[in-house]
Chain A
Amino acid sequence: MSSTKIFLKSSDDKTFEIDETAARASETLKNIIDGGCLDGVIPLPNVSSNILPKVIEYCKKHGGDNGSSKKIANGGVDKDKEILPDYDEEEDKREKVRVDELKKWEEEYMDFDQQVLYDLMLAANYLHIKGLLDLTVEKAASMIRGRTPDQIRENFNINSDFTPEEEEEMILIEDEWDDEWAFD
């Protein structure tokens, strides 16, 4: 079953095609479509042609739904099950397989460098694609979580720019938190 095609134009004037059902994964696009403002091509001045295909890939995969694998696992799209009069074990198994597959897909999909990560996050933010925003945010958070300041500097490729006095003060703050940690 083919659905209506929509055309998206990147900031550098390249046009990409996407199914309407896939495009609805984006709140922003959905509003444009529903608002009847569709006029051939939708310009996306904040998304470059490097990133747009990546966004479209995500939308295709997630069709109408809006969540990451995590959301699905938590019952985000479990409406069907609620309607079913009795619990279907087979259905539940298939659901589990689907979630596992999706997780694997996400893992591969998210394998890119930091620059792409930020651009993709911005695009997801701009296009209001909740699931994609969650994925990118989580990836960035994982680069910070549980890391020492030195590791964070390395991860984000930055140098400390504190003065020696500030540096000393910073070390004190760090120690204080480490003590707190140790206390637990």
Chain B
Amino acid sequence: MELYGLPEDCIAEILSGTSPQDVCRLSVVSTIFRSVADSDSVWEKFLPSNIELILSSSVSSFLPNFSSKKEQFLHLCDNPLLIDDGTMTFALEKCSGKKCYMIGAKELSITWGDNPNYWSWPSLPESRFSEVAELLSVCWLDLCGRIETRLLSPDTTYVAYLVLKLTTNVSGFDYYPVELSVKLASESHAKVTSVCLTTPEETEVEGFGELPEETDADSGSEGEVPEETEADPGSEREVREETDADSGSEGEVPEETEADPGSEREVREEIEADSGLEGEISKETEAEGEVPEETGADSGPEEEVSEETEADLRLEGEVTEEADSGPEGEVPEETETDSQLEGEITEDTESDFGPEGEVPEETGADSVPERKVLKERGDGWMEIRMGEFFNERGEDGEVEMSLREIKILWWKSGIIIEGIELRPKDNQ
């Protein structure tokens, strides 16, 4: 008796204990193995048990007639199926047969996503969805996607990826980090990663590989990364850093910067940063409502400005929170602010103007953010890993994935969000 002499249901049982990849390997072993390995009874086990339900939620009227379960399986691996009124796509991971979903941008919660000054919703031929979210300009970046874990394959570690691309106007992402996080409803804390986004080309061009971008650019001093300035009280440091950032225009810093005194921005941040620490500062800071130059450039910022300004005014006092306190945050406090700032700060600021600043060790606050290079996908988009979670039995309710930068409130623009994709981690 040989393996292939077993009844078909036994063979299907055995092969379903392997993986689609194993079964495809098996099919090249010998002709008999191939006929076994191609049988519907085997491939049926690799299709999700609720596949019919999933197919019925497809919005595409055209679904090929599959001649076999294997063909159907492979089709679903390579052709994500648009489901649920076109808000999500469903696919299978080829090696494991596990479920993959992508939540389209339209289905994400994006703060101010409906304000045409900040976000626009173009249709792109390379998108699987009818609309994608293009970030025109915003300080308060907060975007979040949710999906019910019961939809996902059980006993599987999933990795969430933000799928996006950068436009030619991209700015504000390569120096200050954004926070990526993934959190199950059953967990009390999200796992947060701070990353600066870079494309492979940028990296090459600028010649800086990691963290210390600006630094190298300018003074070539030590390269700590600035981000969470708030953390440390010694305002100087942060100030410096930012300063360097701007001053060292080459690298990351967006063109405008050079154009304008560049100082405002930094100032602004520091301010916030500091304000996070000492309360006084914050107020003044917010008070001024000048729009940051760059921004002005892009969007029709005026109005917004005013609003925000007021908003800020209301903010007073709360230190740290400003960041969190909602959209207003974006408001650029800069200019006057500086002047009002406490002595030290101002000084530093000025001092910074002098481009080289000694570089301050990093503020320490949190860990140095990773500089992550966006990875090319095969579909014309790029992706960045947001985090992972283990889906045991799908009983953890929702999983929430977010992209945020609501601390430093640097102006950011020029990314296009396709969606958030969930895929099983490697081959499990």
Q: Which residues of A contact B (CB under 8 A)?
A: 115, 118-119, 121-122, 125, 133, 137-138, 140-142, 144-149, 152-153, 156, 158-162, 170-171, 173-174, 177, 180-181, 184
Contacts and interface: CB of A to CB of B under 8 A. Distances in A.
Nearest to B23: A144
B281 to A, nearest CB: 48
B29 A152 contact: yes
24 contacts: A121-B6, A121-B10, A122-B7, A122-B10, A125-B7, A125-B9, A137-B14, A141-B18, A144-B14, A144-B15, A148-B25, A149-B25, A149-B26, A156-B2, A156-B3, A159-B30, A161-B31, A162-B28, A170-B28, A171-B28, A173-B24, A173-B28, A177-B21, A177-B94
Given A137-B13, A156-B2, 10 more contacts: A115-B1, A141-B18, A147-B22, A147-B25, A152-B33, A156-B29, A161-B32, A170-B28, A177-B24, A177-B95
Contacts of B27: 173
Contacts of A180: 21, 94-95
Interface of B: 1-3, 5-7, 9-10, 13-15, 17-19, 21-22, 24-33, 94-95, 426-427
A181 B21 contact: yes
A144 B30 contact: no
A7 B18 CA distance: 37
Given A144-B26, A147-B22, A181 B95 contact: yes
A153 B9 CA distance: 22
A122 to B, nearest CB: 7
A166 to B, nearest CB: 8
A184 B95 contact: yes
A147 B94 CA distance: 17
A142 B14 CA distance: 9
A120 B31 CA distance: 26
Nearest to A158: B30
Contacts of B6: 118, 121-122
B199 to A, nearest CB: 20
B381 to A, nearest CB: 15
Contacts of A156: 2-3, 29
**9 A-B pairs with the lowest CB-CB distances in the bound complex, closest first:** A141-B17, A170-B28, A140-B14, A137-B13, A118-B1, A145-B18, A149-B29, A149-B28, A144-B18
A125 B10 contact: yes
A137 B29 contact: no
A153 B29 contact: yes
A184 to B, nearest CB: 5
A184 B9 CA distance: 31
Contacts of B18: 141, 144-145
Choose among B15, B26, B29 the residue with the greatest number of A CB atoms under 10 Å from its CB: B29
Contacts of B17: 137-138, 140-142, 145
Contacts of A115: 1
Contacts of A137: 10, 13-14, 17
Contacts of B2: 118, 156, 158
A181 B94 CA distance: 9
A160 B30 contact: yes
A49 to B, nearest CB: 16
Contact of A153 (B21, B30, B426): B30
B7 A119 contact: no
A146 B24 CA distance: 11
Given A125-B7, A145-B19, A152 B14 contact: no
B31 A162 contact: yes
Nearest to B426: A184
Contacts of A118: 1-3, 5-6
Choose among A138, A142, A144 the residue with the greatest number of B CB atoms under 10 Å from its CB: A144
Nearest to B2: A156
B393 to A, nearest CB: 11
